[in-house]
């Protein structure tokens, strides 16, 4: 590269008018790219403000012709942002809610065990009013009680002076909760 000395300075050769126009075009393209990036990051309001302040065609108006006023929609950036936000929310919330179904089914199974206790108590009271001897027959009380408790199946097992109650979810109904409890007639 040839250096020119002009008033004591070392510099580049003088530019011709074509080079100056190329530089102006390059600067214009760079400012347009800056506006395009800004519009993607800050939204369309910023671009509108900038185009009013500095009137020139932006790349966004060249690549996206103006829509009629009655035609509205979302930009691709807006849609991607919403999808990303929903993905993050789903990733955070899904594990928290996954365990809630199992916990709720187990609570419902505990309620079914309580229902089994109430049935045993009711049958015990009926037997106590009719004959005190039958009231202590735990196997007879268990045999007289229904094992259906809606979404749960009750099972009763006599263990000494107690009855062990287990509630298990009915798989055909999509319920998998389980709970256990004990009942004493006194």
Question: 3-state SS of 59-91?
Answer: HHHHHCCCCCCCCCCCCHHHHHHHHHHHHHHHH
Residue 157 has pLDDT above 50, yes or no: yes
pLDDT tens digits, one per residue of 53-105: 655 554 444 444 555 666 677 788 988 999 999 989 888 888 778 788 888 99
Q: Say how many C-beta atoms besides its own lie within 10 A of residue 142's C-beta.
A: 20
Answer with the residue of higher pLDDT: 27 or 12.
27
pLDDT on residue 181: 95
- Quick one: DSSP state of residue 166? E
Coil vs helix vs strand at 162: strand
pLDDT at 13: 53
Q: How much is the pLDDT for 60? A: 46
The Cα 56–Cα 30 span in angstroms is 13
Please report which residue ranges of 43-177 form alpha helices under DSSP H: 44-53, 59-63, 76-130, 132-135, 138-144
Single pTM value for the model:
0.52
């Amino acid at each position: 590269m040839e250096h020119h000395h002009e008033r004591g300075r070392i510099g580049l050769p003088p530019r011709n008018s074509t080079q100056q126009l190329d530089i102006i075009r390059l600067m214009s393209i760079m400012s347009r790219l800056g506006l395009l990036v800004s519009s993607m990051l800050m939204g369309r309001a910023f671009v509108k403000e900038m185009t009013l302040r500095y009137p020139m065609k932006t790349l966004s108006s060249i690549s996206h012709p103006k829509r009629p006023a009655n035609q509205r929609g979302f930009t691709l950036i807006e849609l991607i942002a919403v999808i990303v936000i929903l993905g993050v929310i789903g990733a955070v919330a899904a594990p928290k809610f996954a365990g809630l179904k199992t916990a709720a089914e187990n609570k419902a199974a505990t309620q079914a065990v309580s229902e089994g206790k109430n049935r045993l108590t009711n049958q015990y009271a009926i037997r106590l009013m009719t004959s005190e001897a039958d009231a202590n027959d735990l196997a007879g009380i268990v045999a007289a009680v229904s094992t259906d408790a809606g979404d749960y199946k009750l099972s009763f097992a006599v263990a000494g002076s107690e009855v062990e109650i287990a509630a298990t979810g009915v798989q055909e109904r999509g319920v998998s909760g389980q709970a256990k409890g004990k009942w004493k007639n006194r």
